[in-house]
Amino acid sequence: MSSDGLDLRIEDLTVVYGGVTALDNVNITVPPGGFVTVLGANGAGKTTLVRSITSLLYLHKGRVRRGDITLGGESILGKKSPDIVKAGVAQVPEGRKLFPNLTVKENLLCGAASRSDVDAIDDSLEQNLELFPQLRPLLNQTAGLLSGGEQQMVAVGRALMSDPALLICDELSLGLAPKIVHRLFELLTEINERRGTSILVIEQNASLALQHAADAYVLELGRVLIEGTADELRGNPMVQELYLGGGGEAHTSYAAIERPSRRPEAHGRRPPVSES
Amino acid sequence: MLLAFGNFTADPSVNLQLLIGGLALGAIYAVVALGFVLVYKSTDVLNLAHGEFLMLGAYFALTFLISENLNFFLGVFVLLLVMLVFGLLVHYGIMRRMVGQGFFAIVLITLGIATIIRALLLIFYGPTERARLDLLPQGSFEVGGATVRYVDLIIFGVVAACVLLFFLFFKYTRLGLHMRAVADDIEAAAAMGIDPDKVYAMTWAAAMVMAGVGGLLFGHVTGAIDRSIEAIGLRAFPAAVVGGLTSLGGSIVGGLVVGVIEQFANGHLGTKWREPVAFSVMFVVLLVRPTGLWGRKDVERV
């Protein structure tokens, strides 16, 4: 049993921390059952976007100044985070954020905090172990001692324990071996296609995200710079230059575009930006 | 040279007596430290009002068990219930507004709460000291030349039962699991749909109930009940730190260790050495193991 995907609409969203604007008039839509990715470098506002949807801004003294966020047509802005999880939003936080001193099983059970039907929770746990068979022998291990890849599986599994209508993954690929990241994205696609769960992936690894997502947005310094289908973005010279490590003739046209002064730095596993 | 400070003795019965007294005192420290560590671990608040919480428990015990003369078990039930309500009051009335504020701002708020409790007790109970509680069986028996009081034995048993209850609660209940999750990572917990607000409220309530138990027990062994017994909060501080501020089990062992060391310092060196020795132990432990004996940094692979 699984919820059908719900559509997420972010409308004219402006978020500030103190006097600093982190998101400026952002519009993003995830259709029901859709697979959308938001690309951007560090500081683009990606994590603020996630915090806005999941109502965790208050922990960082941020607030929404303008705009609305709706899930399945209903506004979820201003709701408390437990109610948003109940409404169907689950997230895999940036850096996984497992509960390091809890066991794998306890971590997974925490993901079901919004539910009370014990049998249904057991079913979800079983589904998770079918999805990630590697986790079965690790159920009683302390989560903080697992490898990065295993931890990320627990993080995805934990999010799925709430039987979400919308799954948000923040920087799934960060710090993981490419092989594991590929496998995780395949699983996301599978969840998206089989269960109809809407998926929103926030990524720095643009090439991988654009392979799996249907629609994509590029966030730059708090604004949506480019939007379109994943195919359109793959063909966009600016995206190629900035996020796919492309070069060639894109350079000349790119140079003409007025762009934000802060270029994304080459980061970890992201293909380096060519400077030639 | 050092011998000049006190009367060292190798007499086993004297040392056994000190050990027994130390364990009884340590059990009380343990129960205070447990409440202290519970709040610190779950909510990241260094609660300097915990001694006052315990004093509140002792005064309420006077009211419900002596003045109102309720049946012992009913009286204890009412006492703990009232403490629970006060715990919720502390959270919903004050601490809730402080979530996300700076660490020291919150520490100062707990000092404020301590002051308010002292003032309220002065207003409602007056400045006169009261006789200690005498509801537990009096009397004693002899073991190997040392005297064991029933009261001390009961205190030890009650503390052990509380610890066991806590352990089972954290390990096997949903709320216990959610409390541990919030302690590990509040943001991740909130993102999973766990309401930190509720968890914090339950933490303060539980700490207050523990203080109620502590006040009831300490009220039986203190010289008299007056507004100086809040000092137990400060005395239990080395216990919590030695055990490690983040370890519930550590706070128990820390309490017992500090209690025994204090008693030995008291017996062999003289009363004035009790606190200096207890705090010295704390300093030494902190120098060698900054996280306390059982405290740990979070298990985390990066």
Structure confidence at residue B13 as a pLDDT band (50, 70, 90): confident
* Nearest alpha carbon to residue B196 among A124, B204, A178: B204
Nearest by CB: B181 against A59, A110, A151: A110
The per-residue pLDDT for A256 is: 42
- pTM, to two decimals: 0.82
The per-residue pLDDT for B10 is: 66
Taking only the tens of pLDDT, chain A with its 276 residues reads 445 778 999 999 999 998 899 999 999 999 999 999 999 888 888 989 999 999 888 888 889 999 999 999 999 998 998 999 999 999 999 989 999 999 999 999 999 999 989 999 999 999 999 999 999 999 999 999 999 999 999 999 999 999 999 999 999 998 899 999 999 999 999 999 999 999 999 998 898 999 999 999 999 999 999 999 999 999 998 888 877 775 444 343 444 444 444 444 444 344 444 433
Q: State the complex-level ipTM.
A: 0.81
The per-residue pLDDT for A153 is: 94
Contact at CB, B193 and A81, closer than 8 angstroms: yes
Residue with tokens 């690929």: A173
Mean pLDDT of the region B60-70: 89
pLDDT over 60 (residue B271): yes
Share of chain B above pLDDT 90, in %: 42
Q: What is the pLDDT of residues B136-184, one digit of tens each?
A: 888 889 888 888 899 999 999 999 998 899 889 988 999 999 999 998 8
The per-residue pLDDT for B235 is: 79
Tokens of B163: 């610890």
Nearest by CB: A97 against B177, B180, B187: B187
The per-residue pLDDT for A255 is: 41
Q: Provide, as residue numbers in chain B, all residues whose Cβ is less than 8 Å from the Cβ of A144.
A: 298-301
Give Rg (Cα) of chain A: 19
Alpha carbon separation from B61 to B73, B81, B118 (Å, rounded): 12, 12, 16
Distance from CA of A246 to the nearest CA of B (A): 31
Distance from CA of B30 to the nearest CA of A (A): 23
Confirm or reject contact between B10 and chain A (CB < 8 A).
no
Domain boundaries, given as residue ranges, for chain B: 27-235
Share of chain B above pLDDT 70, in %: 94
Contact at CB, B185 and A99, closer than 8 angstroms: yes
The per-residue pLDDT for B138 is: 85
Distance CA A160, CA A139 (A): 16
The per-residue pLDDT for B2 is: 44
pLDDT over 60 (residue B299): no
Contact at CB, A99 and B300, closer than 8 angstroms: no
The per-residue pLDDT for B101 is: 82
pLDDT over 50 (residue B1): no
- Name the region of B145 (left: φ>0; alpha: ψ -120 to 50; beta: rest): left
- Strand-strand pairing, A166-170 and A89-92: parallel
pLDDT over 70 (residue B47): yes
Nearest by CB: B184 against A82, A102, A148: A102
* Nearest alpha carbon to residue A268 among A156, A155, A173: A173
The per-residue pLDDT for B297 is: 57
Domain boundaries, given as residue ranges, for chain A: 1-88+165-266, 98-163
Q: For residue B81, how many other CB atoms are within 10 A of its CB?
A: 13
The per-residue pLDDT for B9 is: 63
The per-residue pLDDT for A16 is: 93
Q: CATH number of the domain at A1-88+165-266, out of 2.60.34.10, 3.40.50.300, 3.30.830.10, 1.10.10.10?
A: 3.40.50.300
User: Mutate which of A99, A118, A154 to test chain B, going by most B C-beta atoms within 10 A?
Assistant: A99
